[in-house]
Structure 1
Amino acid sequence: MSKIDDIRQRHAARKKGIKSFSGRQSETIKSHGTSSQRPDHDLNSVHPLFRTQSFIIKCMIAIVLILVVAIIDKQQGATFDQTKHVVQQTLNRDVNFTKLSSWYEDTFGSSPVAFFPSLTDQDQAKKTTGQGAKKQEADYAVPVSGQVSESFSTQTNGILMATKPGSAVTAVKSGTVISIENKEGIGKTVIIQHNNAESWYGKMDGVKVKPYEFVQQGQKIGSVKKDQDQERGTFYFALKNGDHFVDPIQVISFD
């Protein structure tokens, strides 16, 4: 065999080896590329609690309702007066935070974090065992220590109590504070909602609660404001059932 033939054979063998190595490398790259790709369903997956179509439909319904209310508000005539009245009553109606809290606890097993503080360990134990809480909530408690100085009337919608200045005022029943504001004739007033009822505490000073706070029966919510003579305090109290005020003396025993 000549030297030229020997060189040709070695060149052919080397070329064959290079092709074999290139083929194996290509297969390795393909296999890694296939395994590293994410499945199509992962890329297109949607959060199980979010439905795009349902969200869009709800947004469209909300927009339509807003447009309808705006159109009705701009219309004149007796035909639309009744509809306007119903819409205004609905918008002015207070949210029943007590029922909302009860529904939330029954559904999710705990108090709403954003609106209501969590129960203490003692209160949670009472709620779990059912001892004490139900018995305590059976009746309304007396809001302050004192004597009734002015009976209920339709003009005042409540009663006045003579007491010591700075006397502690407590919640007559568990509920949610829905308002703290100054009202004409009764000064700073705290309103607590109890399902369909409300308790009003007027002529207050040093309020210890905040709006949308859940309070327990007997919890201190503030103190009685001093009168001008500084020798006594006058406390205003009212009970509201639905849309009507009722005589607290018929519900609570002020002995």
Structure 2
Amino acid sequence: MRNSADEIRRRYADKIAGEEQEPFKTSLYTGPSTPVQEKKKGPRFNGSFFLFQLMAGVCLFLGAGILFKNDGQQAVKGQEIVKKMYHNEFQFAAAQKWYENQFGKPLALLPDKQAAPQKELAGTEKTDNYAVPASGKVYQSFEANGKGIMVETGKSINVDTVKEGYVTFIGKKDKLGKTVIIQHSNGEESWYGHLDSIDANVKLYSYMERKKPLGKVSPSEDGKTGKFYFAIKKGNTFVDPSKVGIHFE
């Protein structure tokens, strides 16, 4: 009998202990708890840095104005430097290539490159070599011309780009007539002169792929053949096209 009473007291004590350990429950279902995710913050606009850039631009503009109002010896040297900076063509192609190598996206401030195909055709490989602008034979050599060569071609054929790049000049040049200049990513330029016509798709600062038509050759004196001028420029110096691997008949 005593053992039975002890057993009852033990069971009652165990029951009370179990109720105390049971967590508090409510009738409202709140769902499974999830960790609170911190909202991603985008880049904040730095007003002070923008103001600094604006003020720096204004100071440079005013400084250039004061420089050109001064006739002193040092001012004249500064004027020559500024003039040289403005007269030299900006290296669009080189800047574009550097930016894409560094950041992987086209630089928005440069001319649009959307016209360039993103994928190469099957079975073709992109190359850094120069293509031949048009089939023909050289009748005025680089040594005789001093800056470029004159090429005799078939009648009314196309003159193509030798390498991809940006159009930096369209118009007429002295002794060259209608001319197109393409700037390439390696800093070189290809010149195409004595064109009879320029293709309508060729626009100033537009991006041109390799072996795309620029225009038509000019007719020769007898009208039986065509001709055009071609040159390669590295920096401020013209070089023989054969030195960069461009060979004609």
TM-score, structure 1 normalization:
0.71
CA distance in 1, matches of 2:158, 2:69: 50
User: 1:53-202 counterparts in 2 under 5 A?
Assistant: 53-106=48-101, 107-110=103-106, 112=108, 115-123=112-120, 132-133=125-126, 136-137=127-128, 139-153=129-143, 157-194=147-184, 195-202=186-193
User: Which 4+ residue blocks in structure 1 deviate beyond 6 angstroms?
Assistant: none
Report the equivalent of 2:236.
243
Distance 1:110 1:83, change over 3 A: closer
Structure 2 unaligned runs (5+)? 1-40
Q: d(CA) in 2 for partners of 1:118 and 1:172?
A: 17
Q: Structure 1 residues 64 and 121, CA, compared in 2 at 3 Å: closer, same or farther? A: closer
Distance 1:102 1:249 in 2: 25
CA shift, 1:229, in A, is: 3.1
Cα drift, residue 228 of structure 1: 4.5
Secondary structure, in 3 states, of the residue corresponding to 1:123?
A: coil
Secondary structure of 2:147's counterpart equals coil
Identity %: 34
Aligned mates of 1:173, 1:225 — CA distance in 2: 22
Which has more helix, going by share of residues? 1
SS of residue paired to 1:198: strand
CA-based RMSD = 2.5
Distance change in 2, residues 1:74/1:149 (3 Å): same
Deviation at 1:88, TM superposition (A): 0.8
Q: What is the number of equivalent residue pairs in this alignment?
A: 203
- Corresponding residue SS for 2:50: helix
Residue in structure 1 matching 2:195, options 199, 204, 207: 204
User: CA shift at 1:80, angstroms?
Assistant: 1.5
Indicate if the aligned counterparts of 1:116 and 1:212 stay in contact, CA closer than 8 A.
no
Cα distance in structure 2, aligned partners of 1:86 and 1:229: 48
Aligned AA (2:247): S
Q: Is the counterpart of residue 214 in structure 1 residue 207 in structure 2?
A: yes
TM-score by length of 2: 0.73
